[in-house]
Chains A and B, each alone.
Chain A
Amino acid sequence: MSRRPHGLALTAILLWVVVYPLTLVMIESVRDDGGWTLRHIAEFAGQGGEWAALWASLWISVASVLLAGAVGIPLAFVFERFDFPGRRVLGSLVALPAVLPPLVGVIAFLFLYGESGFVARAAMALFGLADAPWRLQGPGAILLVHAYSMYVYFYLFTRAGLARLDASVIEAAQSLGADGWTTLRRVTLPLLRPQLAAAATLTFMTALGSFSAPYIFGGGFRVMTTQIVASKLNGDVTMANVETTALAAVALLGLVLLRRSQGTRLVAAVGKGQPPAARILARPLARWGAATVGWTLGVTLLLPHATLLLVSFVPLGTWTIEFLPPRYTLGNYAALFTEPERLRPLVNSLWMAGVATVAAVAIALWAGRLVVQRRAALRAAIEALVNVPWAVPGTVLAVALATTFSVQAPWIGRFVLVGTLVILPLAYLVRNIPVTAGSILAGFRQLDPSLDEAAASLGATRWRTLRAVTIPLLRPAILAGAALAFATALGDFVTSIVLYTFETRPIAIEILSALRQFDVGTAAAYGVLLMLFSAGAMVVGTRR
């Protein structure tokens, strides 16, 4: 069997589910009743609210990068450079928010810092106030949540960079008379530049596409993602398309600019041999200082999730003005598993995330084989295609899919999928292709190509080679990619809110409706389950 049709088929599928919907959205925003028009764009440009939202998206994203860096970079230094009791466990725990669904983080925040959260109650009890001293709303609240959850990118990238840094380069600077600050400014930070740029890119893209925080805390303050969903829910599909196009354009522009700042790749060490991996051990005073800073930051960063756990045990309507909830129950959890309508979102999310994950792994394996084993012209195309969804905010993908698959026109590849069981798994799949393919393609690149030839020379068929050699060797990469995809799909909120129906509503949507009914216990219980499932998936996925 010739291999060419495989490459073509995969390219066609990716074009159809990724590029085609995005293109359609852009086309629709400049079309009107069968003709081309700039009317919609003019309408968009003429409204101050639209410009305000676009500007808000941009500055919120830039500010999120700065704040997340301000938290994540020092945290990475503390955990990578100092040894103190609990460093290992705490060091892994503070990386956790990366795999937790954004909505879970947001409601955890609400319970901790919101106007009826613990901190507000404590303040009220302490100062004898009748009302909450603040409202968690507006750009400040959004930025707080962003910094709180996105520091993880800076933390992980900086730690990885520091761990690979040649310790003798730092010592060289010291022996040349550079003090700690000079060494940091002139040697360490410049050497970390690729990692910092990568973290900044990731944070910027995540903040730009962030929906949960602006949706819950925005109030009257609109960013582009919430603006798009509002237009969509109001039935103004054309405006939603124009807004989507605008957000996609900003995302691509940001990506290009940030990529440029990454600079040329630096080699961590020049010369032959392995650099020594020395830990800089500080004197007792610095050690205890580091322990204090590490623990304080670590506990503060994990506090919202602990709050969520606590709130999940509070029975409905029993917690009113007290500082701590007066009663605790397992009833919220029991209800989730005994009442069919409450169990439903759980089941929905699990099967939809499962299907999307399996499909993403299959596509990634397919892409991996093609990309690694062929000198094909399609290789670059496939590599680019699997990364496209990463460059586009989730809301944009959701609106693009909604636009494309709400029309029945099979001859141009459009089917009515919106409202069916297919659309959400499809959306999850498209969103997850980059992360799954990223992990699995990296795994493929590490495989020795002569292994395939060795298996072939021993008489193994291609299918047997895949089953007995390739997949076992790729297992860690597949598991890691699948775990990330599953956790993301399970907690998805941003695409779900555009595409769900009552029948297919996932956990995140149910959390939102529980919040609307002030049933915080149920919302928290769902949130805790999401956390457990995500953490469980990551434990499986990172096991070697």
Chain B
Amino acid sequence: MSDTYLELQHLTKRYDEHVAVDDLSLTLPRGGVLALLGPSGSGKTTTLRLLAGFERPDAGRIVVEGRDVTGLSAAQRRFGMVFQHYALFPHLTVAENVGFGLAGGDGDPGHVAATLALVDLSGFGRRGVTELSGGQQQRVAVARALAPGPAVLLLDEPLSNLDPGLRERTRRELRTVLRETGVTTLLVTHEQEEAFALGERVAVLRAGRLEQVGTPRELYEQPRTLFVATFVGRASVMPGVMAAADRVRIGDGVEWPATAPAAARSGEAVSVVVRPEALRFGADGLAGQVAECRYTGARSYYLVRVGDRLLEVEGAPDAARLGDRVRLTATRAHAFPETGS
């Protein structure tokens, strides 16, 4: 890729026997926003700390604009970091926090004020950071990281410490700030919704390894592994058998259209992943019984028991009732060879 700005090359980090990050390679274009998504223990926070320079990789390189920064300390590297708990300096004012990373100690007041304006905190400079609300503290943390004009901005679970009501708004503001500054950004989150909303591209990590990287849409519609298919978005898993290159057989003679890796052969046992919105109640198809109904307003979600499995189905609010015997068809499913998982 010619417009590569930030490059992670074969990063590996071990703690004693445990491999936290395992041969991870990623690239970002200038101004790109990449979300690292994964469950806890997937190595996403370690990756972020390796990038910031708080930890040293055991192998691999970090390259910014063709320059190898792996050997630089955090202070020399100066990537802007927004911590999960913000880590504001409690003994300094808002302006002093924002000016901390600027030349000359407290920095140019005009620049500090401009940065505060960027995060919509004009006039807050003299306040103590402990007097601010959680959302305001988060914005100070962002302003402090952005003020020195960092080569890369790192965000650790940027919304996890906010009340749910505040998240939507903060997410929007954060997206605006990132667009306005055009800073190359890498953020870490364990929430798919957050990753999709903020990341132009999303990298899914599992046990220190990269499972898949792509746009949110690619991840949702073309998951490459069973893990990505089930971790990103809601999904039910059924055992099945490949009936053709684009069809899987579920149980007695029921066949669903499915995408599958090219290597999957007819007759091979597969795990079939199907999204709630791809399942429909119909006259024929897989037989089951409604075990649970969850009403959410415009749509309802039904858990349908098929054998010893529960399948989640999205439907109209009155599509079925508890205890109804129903049949399910699928518009689309994903098949993964069982050995692959």
Q: For residue B85, which residues in chain A have a CB less than 8 angstroms away from its CB?
A: 166, 168, 269-273, 275-276
Asked whether A171 lies within 8 Å of B100 as measured between CB atoms, the reply is no
Asked whether A171 lies within 8 Å of B87 as measured between CB atoms, the reply is yes
Asked whether B129 lies within 8 Å of A175 as measured between CB atoms, the reply is no
Asked whether A270 lies within 8 Å of B91 as measured between CB atoms, the reply is no
Q: Given A175-B78, A176-B100, are A273 and B161 neighbors across the interface (CB < 8 Å)?
A: yes
12 A–B pairs (Cβ distance < 8 Å), ordered by A: A171-B81, A171-B87, A174-B75, A176-B78, A178-B75, A186-B105, A266-B91, A269-B90, A270-B85, A271-B138, A272-B161, A275-B87
Chain B, Cβ-Cβ closest to A189: B91
Interface string of B85-116 (1 = CB under 8 A from A): 11111110000000011000100000000000
A271–B134 Cα distance when bound, in Å, is 6
Which secondary structure dominates chain A's binding surface?
loop
Please pick, from B73, B90, B148, the residue contacting A176 in the complex, using a CB distance under 8 A.
B148
Asked whether A270 lies within 8 Å of B81 as measured between CB atoms, the reply is no
A174–B74 Cα distance when bound, in Å, is 6
User: Does B80 interact with chain A (Cβ within 8 Å)?
Assistant: yes
16 other contacts beyond A174-B53, A266-B90, with CB at 8 A cut-off? A168-B87, A175-B54, A175-B79, A175-B154, A179-B75, A186-B100, A186-B105, A267-B90, A267-B130, A270-B88, A270-B137, A271-B137, A271-B161, A272-B161, A273-B84, A275-B87
Interface string of B311-337 (1 = CB under 8 A from A): 000000000000000000000000000
Minimum CB–CB distance for B167 against chain A, Å: 13
Interface string of B119-158 (1 = CB under 8 A from A): 0000000000110101001100000110010000010000
Asked whether A271 lies within 8 Å of B86 as measured between CB atoms, the reply is yes
Which of A175, A191, A272, A276 has the most CB atoms of chain B within a 10 A radius of its CB?
Answer: A175
A273–B89 Cα distance when bound, in Å, is 16
A269–B87 Cα distance when bound, in Å, is 7
Chain A, Cβ-Cβ closest to B163: A272
Q: Given A266-B90, A271-B134, are A172 and B83 neighbors across the interface (CB < 8 Å)?
A: yes
User: Does B159 interact with chain A (Cβ within 8 Å)?
Assistant: no
A276–B161 Cα distance when bound, in Å, is 14
Total interface residues in chain A, CB < 8 Å? 27
Total interface residues in chain B, CB < 8 Å? 35
A267–B132 Cα distance when bound, in Å, is 13
Q: Which of B's residues lie within 8 Å of A, judged by CB? A: 52-54, 73-81, 83-91, 100-101, 105, 129-130, 132, 134, 137-138, 144-145, 148, 154, 161
Asked whether B134 lies within 8 Å of A172 as measured between CB atoms, the reply is no
Q: For residue B161, which residues in chain A have a CB less than 8 angstroms away from its CB?
A: 271-273
Interface string of A420-455 (1 = CB under 8 A from B): 000000000000000000000000000000000000
User: Does A10 interact with chain B (Cβ within 8 Å)?
Assistant: no
Minimum CB–CB distance for A182 against chain B, Å: 8
Asked whether B137 lies within 8 Å of A171 as measured between CB atoms, the reply is no
Minimum CB–CB distance for A521 against chain B, Å: 52
Q: Given A267-B130, A270-B129, A272-B134, are A171 and B89 neighbors across the interface (CB < 8 Å)?
A: no
Q: Given A174-B54, A176-B100, A271-B161, are A169 and B89 neighbors across the interface (CB < 8 Å)?
A: yes
Chain B, Cβ-Cβ closest to A191: B91
Q: How many A-B residue pairs have CB under 8 A?
A: 100
Asked whether B80 lies within 8 Å of A175 as measured between CB atoms, the reply is yes
Minimum CB–CB distance for A185 against chain B, Å: 10
User: Does A177 interact with chain B (Cβ within 8 Å)?
Assistant: yes
Asked whether A171 lies within 8 Å of B90 as measured between CB atoms, the reply is no
A187–B144 Cα distance when bound, in Å, is 15
Q: For residue B78, which residues in chain A have a CB less than 8 angstroms away from its CB?
A: 175-177
Asked whether B87 lies within 8 Å of A169 as measured between CB atoms, the reply is yes
Q: For residue B52, which residues in chain A have a CB less than 8 angstroms away from its CB?
A: 171, 175
Chain B, Cβ-Cβ closest to A278: B54
Interface string of A153-172 (1 = CB under 8 A from B): 00000000000001011011
Which of A168, A186, A190, A270 has the most CB atoms of chain B within a 10 A radius of its CB?
Answer: A270
Asked whether A271 lies within 8 Å of B88 as measured between CB atoms, the reply is yes
Q: Given A171-B52, A271-B134, are A190 and B87 neighbors across the interface (CB < 8 Å)?
A: no
A66–B81 Cα distance when bound, in Å, is 37
Minimum CB–CB distance for B318 against chain A, Å: 41
Minimum CB–CB distance for B162 against chain A, Å: 9
User: Does A268 interact with chain B (Cβ within 8 Å)?
Assistant: yes
User: Does A173 interact with chain B (Cβ within 8 Å)?
Assistant: yes
Minimum CB–CB distance for B97 against chain A, Å: 9
Minimum CB–CB distance for B34 against chain A, Å: 18
The 5 closest A-B pairs by CB, nearest first: A176-B101, A168-B87, A174-B74, A172-B87, A175-B81
Q: For residue A176, which residues in chain B have a CB less than 8 angstroms away from its CB?
A: 78, 80, 100-101, 144-145, 148
Minimum CB–CB distance for A81 against chain B, Å: 15
Please pick, from A173, A191, A270, A273, the residue contacting B100 in the complex, using a CB distance under 8 A.
A173
Q: For residue B100, which residues in chain A have a CB less than 8 angstroms away from its CB?
A: 173, 176, 178, 186
Chain A, Cβ-Cβ closest to B85: A271
Minimum CB–CB distance for B58 against chain A, Å: 14
A272–B133 Cα distance when bound, in Å, is 10
Q: For residue A268, which residues in chain B have a CB less than 8 angstroms away from its CB?
A: 90
Chain B, Cβ-Cβ closest to A183: B75
Q: For residue B77, which residues in chain A have a CB less than 8 angstroms away from its CB?
A: 175
Minimum CB–CB distance for A506 against chain B, Å: 46
Q: Given A175-B52, A273-B161, are A166 and B75 neighbors across the interface (CB < 8 Å)?
A: no
Q: For residue A177, which residues in chain B have a CB less than 8 angstroms away from its CB?
A: 75-76, 78, 101, 148
A175–B87 Cα distance when bound, in Å, is 12
Chain B, Cβ-Cβ closest to A180: B75
A271–B101 Cα distance when bound, in Å, is 21
A63–B100 Cα distance when bound, in Å, is 34
Chain A, Cβ-Cβ closest to B138: A271
Q: For residue A267, which residues in chain B have a CB less than 8 angstroms away from its CB?
A: 90, 130
Minimum CB–CB distance for A286 against chain B, Å: 13
Asked whether A191 lies within 8 Å of B90 as measured between CB atoms, the reply is yes
Asked whether A190 lies within 8 Å of B91 as measured between CB atoms, the reply is yes
Q: For residue A172, which residues in chain B have a CB less than 8 angstroms away from its CB?
A: 81, 83, 87-89, 144
Asked whether B73 lies within 8 Å of A174 as measured between CB atoms, the reply is yes
Q: For residue A270, which residues in chain B have a CB less than 8 angstroms away from its CB?
A: 85-86, 88, 90, 129-130, 132, 137
Chain B, Cβ-Cβ closest to A175: B81
Chain A, Cβ-Cβ closest to B99: A176
Minimum CB–CB distance for B75 against chain A, Å: 5
Q: For residue B130, which residues in chain A have a CB less than 8 angstroms away from its CB?
A: 266-267, 270
Asked whether B74 lies within 8 Å of A175 as measured between CB atoms, the reply is yes
Chain B, Cβ-Cβ closest to A169: B87
Q: Given A173-B100, A176-B100, A272-B134, are A168 and B83 neighbors across the interface (CB < 8 Å)?
A: yes
Minimum CB–CB distance for A281 against chain B, Å: 10
Q: For residue B88, which residues in chain A have a CB less than 8 angstroms away from its CB?
A: 169, 172, 270-271
Which of A177, A191, A271 has the most CB atoms of chain B within a 10 A radius of its CB?
Answer: A271
Q: For residue B87, which residues in chain A have a CB less than 8 angstroms away from its CB?
A: 166, 168-169, 171-172, 269, 271, 275
